[in-house]
Amino acid sequence: MTDQPAFQSARNAGYLLCIECNKLHDIQHEGYHCDRCGAALHSRRPRAITQSWACLIASVLLLLPANMLPIMTFKSFGKGDPSTIISGIIDLMEHDMLFIALIVLIASIVVPALKIIGLTILLLTVQFGWSTNLRQKTIMFRLVEWIGRWSMLDIFVIGILVALVQLGSIASIEGNQGATAFAAVVLLTMFSAISFDTRLIWDNDFYRHEHRHEDRQ
Amino acid sequence: MHKSAQGLTACHECDLLIDQVPTTPGQDAICPRCRARLYYTTINDTERSMALAIAGLILFIPANMFPILTLKVLGKSQSEVILNTALSLFDGGLFVVAILVLLFAIVVPLMQLILLLYISSSLHFKWGGRLLRYAMHGYQHLHGWGMLEIYLLGTLVSIIKLKDIANLEIGLGLYSLAALIIVFTLSSIMFNHHQIWHQIDVHRSDRAGSKP
């Protein structure tokens, strides 16, 4: 027993954990169904990295139309004033609403950007077997997973403004297709985070332990 | 050969193999490597979840029936309930966005409350619960997709954006929405899925044993 590395993964020990109900099974049950909850059993989520990359790349591509196309148009007495995400924030700042501008800036620009960077780092970690700062990377994943949904803020604001400001020719607001692209960005990054399997980044830790073990011999 | 899975568990975030130690209420079992919370014990969890689900379903009605905000300009007024948000986006041609708003702000929260009521009441009263597994899978997968608190923040941003242009009145719907969000937060804190799966297991074997 003393020859074993300090940390041993369930997979190396011949077990697998049902990710739905957290019941521990023998690794030979891989591909079968959990007898407690009926979910398919996998030691690691199959195709996790491929799915996660696919959603992430699609969301990066959609960032372009999301930020270039107008998300809504303010119409007053026949004149239209389309605004993009960034021009909306600049508008708020010019009207001295700095606090609210900051909230919208964080929700629509900073959070999506950090999410994409964070997921890229995590995926590269798994892909290249990096074994540094694994605990920080796990915390980063939890943050990315939790914070991602707050980007929907701008979408809800557009919806509420469109529903509320319908005063005929005096003033009205309508949504534009930039909002669709932005909603798709948010949705795809959320799917990317869900597809990811954090156990994959910790597999690098075991390799490190095993190599250390070999070095000593 | 290794010993059986009895008495062992693994971390769901880093797959570390761990000896399962019992916890008392208030104690959390934490993964020594990645610091994920593994499992914990709660008292009366089905009873509390059931109470919260019923409270949520009751609050869901005023939150969706009464106006969230009313806008008044030059004698004209326009009220807004949550459903309007989705409908007016749909009328404006943003179909995808409208469906997402409908799902995240109305359908998912309602589904969560119904599933929570079903799970907690069938475990508490030891009812049939033939669909318990499916209900649990559904409930677990919906986690994070109900976005009422973000909707509330969106309402606040809209209020500040419009406050210089027009008169705004806050409706009863907004207060109900705030209360509903508190219920959702409490229910997600209270919901101990590790323990519920165990109770479902016990429930199923009880029923299998009682059959003639």
- Distance, in Å, from the CA atom of B23 to the CA atom of B28, rounded to the nearest integer, reads 7
- Cβ contact (<8 Å) for B100 and A202? no
Tokens of B61: 């009605």
Q: What is the pLDDT of residues B195-207, one digit of tens each?
A: 999 999 888 888 8
Instruction: Tell me which of B95 and A96 has the higher pLDDT.
Output: B95
User: B52: buried, middle or exposed (CB in 10 Å: 19+, 13-18, 0-12)?
Assistant: buried
pTM of the model: 0.90
- Distance, in Å, from the CA atom of A30 to the CA atom of A32, rounded to the nearest integer, reads 6
Q: Which residue among A36, A138, A170 places its CB closest to the CB of B34? A: A138
Those of residues 88-117 in A touching chain B at CB distance below 8 A are: 92, 95, 97, 100, 103-104
Arithmetic mean of pLDDT, A86-92: 89
> By the CB < 8 Å criterion, does A24 face chain B?
yes
Does residue B42 have a pLDDT over 60? Answer: yes
Instruction: Tell me which of B90 and A210 has the higher pLDDT.
Output: B90
- Local confidence band at B162 (pLDDT 50, 70, 90 cut-offs): confident
Q: Which residue among A37, A161, A170 places its CB closest to the CB of B136? A: A37
Closest to A109 in 3D by CA, of A128, A92, A132: A92
Q: Which residue among A19, A139, A163 places its CB closest to the CB of B85? A: A163
* Distances from the Cα of B97 to the Cα of A29, A183, B18, angstroms: 41, 7, 44
Tokens 């689900």, located at residue = B53
Write out A71-117 in H/E/C secondary structure.
Answer: CEEEEECCEEEEECHHHHHHHHHHCCCHHHHHHHHHHHHHHHHHHHH
* Strand pairing report for A171-175 and A72-76: antiparallel
Tokens 């379903």, located at residue = B57
- Cβ contact (<8 Å) for A145 and B5? no
Arithmetic mean of pLDDT, A65-80: 88
- Local confidence band at A206 (pLDDT 50, 70, 90 cut-offs): low
One-letter identity of residue B126: K
- Cβ contact (<8 Å) for B100 and A187? yes
One-letter identity of residue B102: L
Q: What is the pLDDT of residues B4-33, one digit of tens each?
A: 567 889 999 989 998 888 888 888 999 988
- Local confidence band at A208 (pLDDT 50, 70, 90 cut-offs): low
> By the CB < 8 Å criterion, does B131 face chain A?
no
Does residue B211 have a pLDDT over 90? Answer: no
- Distance, in Å, from the CA atom of A125 to the CA atom of A138, rounded to the nearest integer, reads 11
Q: What is the pLDDT of residues B79-123, one digit of tens each?
A: 889 999 999 999 988 999 999 999 999 999 999 999 999 999 999
Q: Which residue among A23, A161, A176 places its CB closest to the CB of B158? A: A161
Closest to A19 in 3D by CA, of B133, B12, B200: B12
Q: What is the ipTM of this complex?
A: 0.90
